[in-house]
Structure 1
Amino acid sequence: MAFVAELSRSVQGRVVLITGAASGIGRATAHVFAREGARVAVTDRAQEDADRVAGEIRAEGGEAVGWALDVADGQAIETVAAAVAERFGGLDILVNNAGTTRVLKIDDGRYDAAWDFLLPILLGSHQRMIRAALPHLRRSEAPRIVNIASTEALGASSPGSIYSAAKAGVTGLTRSLAVELGREGITVNCICPGPIHTGMTAAIPDDNKTIYARRRTALGRYGDPAEVAHAILNFCLPASSYVTGVTLRVDGGLMVRNA
């Protein structure tokens, strides 16, 4: 009988840097990784917000430190990535989660300004974070990169062309870097969340969410941030060493339902 290799499903002791980790999917991801024994670098724009989530994790017995990070600031990215690696003695996992949105029609006079504001956050920050993290990931035994895109990269809602374009760029960046970095053992994967209860969807009335989810998703409901966080975790397991270049929908069956 052929030998079946034992592959670890533990991130115990691994160092993970998560952007946009003060709320929603980022916060859930920070908690999930910490509960699995990872050491978590919680980053967000405001130091107090990052510290709050890091404090939540430490109160549960986990290990976490907060850093202020504006992902539109290339120099800040370099500084924080280096500081995280120095504080924890390395870096194993990068989760590019930070994001925001503005909804404008193509002929809106503010469109160009919105494009220039959103693209560095939604797409440019991913490549900048990866470039800053690479020297440290290359020293890891199980280096992992997970980019967070959206089902808006695969379909579209109107009006939302800037967001869709940026998120489609994230999926393309993921595929290309999976090929470029694969020979080094660095996996690069992408999560496309569908309708999830986060700060970005908080303004939508509950009744509207219920109607939308029942009509559009196979499961008939909005997702919870923790459900996305566990999908992220799966990509980052040492045992997931042969999974790369994948775009995974975590959307309750949104994209497979015809009507």
Structure 2
Amino acid sequence: MSKTYLITGATSPLGLALMERLLPTLAEGDLILAQGCGDLARLASLCQARPGFIRPYDADFTQPLAVRAFLSDLVDTYPAPTHIIHLPGLRPIQTAYAYFDEERFADDRAVQLDSALLLCKTFLPRMAQAGSGRVLFLTGGVPAAQMASTAIVKSSLEGLARSLAAEYASSGVTVNCIAPGPLLTEDTAGDPAAVHPEEVVPAMLFLLSEDAARINGVTLPIGGGSALR
């Protein structure tokens, strides 16, 4: 059976690292549907490496209508995803709670949580009808001080994953989360808990595989992530 990977936030360092590992394993008929926002040039080298296997989409997840248009096009054009990997998010910014930015929080919630709600409502029933599927969310570890906005959204995603995992368990669909420590960037270079995106990918590939068919509703810590729940 052909595999269709829907990767949102595909242009992030973690999304790119995942696709680098996925691409060599794809067979004829397999696809990666890769969503980014204004930064699809980051996919150019991967698209050139295996032409035809990646279908890039530019969609601004802060805009609900853009999310709906994106999902509508996927439904009209491609088979239902067999694997959903949901990685989008605004860049985390440490801010004292006294200066909590409601507008930025609303945007980050739209990008990460609201889009996940629509995505899962669109595709999980189709996965269940097919009798199998893998869904993977990026959540987070123990929240740092002055990161209330990120903590709220990530905790909500984890709650959504647990609820969906329980609802769809009998249908052959698994819904899990990965919770790495802070990913290595220029901002986190001095953080001993920072994790290279490449170090996260093996755990993602495992949870997306058939070997993980009996693992459902878990949050898997990686590096500086939180304890397994």
**Shorter chain as normaliser: what TM range?**
0.7 to 0.9
- The more displaced of 70-79 and 225-234 is 70-79
Q: Which runs of 5+ in 2 are unaligned?
A: none
CA distance in structure 1 between the partners assigned to 2:151 and 2:101 by the alignment: 14
Q: Output one character per residue of 1:77-117: Cα deviation in whole Å (capped at 9) or x when no partner.
A: 23323433444433111111001133321211x53333323
Task: Report % sequence identity.
Answer: 21
Partner residue in 1 for 2:7: 18
Partner residue in 2 for 1:147: 137
Q: Which runs of 5+ in 1 are unaligned?
A: 1-11
Q: 1:229 to 1:87 in 2, by over 3 A?
A: farther
Partner residue in 2 for 1:250: 222
Q: Does 1:130 align with 2:109?
A: no
Q: State whether residues 39 and 64 of structure 1, in contact with CA within 8 Å, keep that contact through their aligned partners in structure 2.
A: yes
The amino acid that maps onto 1:202 is E
Q: State whether residues 96 and 148 of structure 1, in contact with CA within 8 Å, keep that contact through their aligned partners in structure 2.
A: yes
- Aligned-pair Cα RMSD in Å: 2.3
From 15, 19, 22, the counterpart of 1:33: 22
Of structures 1 and 2, the larger Rg is shown by 1
Q: Secondary structure at the match of 1:107?
A: helix
Partner residue in 1 for 2:172: 185
The Cα of 1:177 is off from its aligned counterpart by: 1.0
Correspondences of 1:90-101 after superposition (within 5 Å): 90-100=80-90, 101=92
Q: Secondary structure at the match of 1:17?
A: strand
Partner residue in 2 for 1:159: 146
Q: State whether residues 15 and 90 of structure 1, in contact with CA within 8 Å, keep that contact through their aligned partners in structure 2.
A: yes
**TM-score, length-scaled by structure 1:** 0.76
- The more displaced of 79-88 and 165-174 is 79-88
Correspondences of 1:55-134 after superposition (within 5 Å): 55-61=44-50, 63-100=53-90, 101-108=92-99, 111-134=101-124
CA distance in structure 2 between the partners assigned to 1:36 and 1:191 by the alignment: 22
Q: Output one character per residue of 1:164-222: Cα deviation in whole Å (capped at 9) or x when no partner.
A: 1111111111111100111222110000111322xxx3234x4xx1xx31xxx5xxxx4
Q: Aligned pair count? A: 222
The amino acid that maps onto 1:173 is L
**TM-score, length-scaled by structure 2:** 0.85
The amino acid that maps onto 2:97 is I
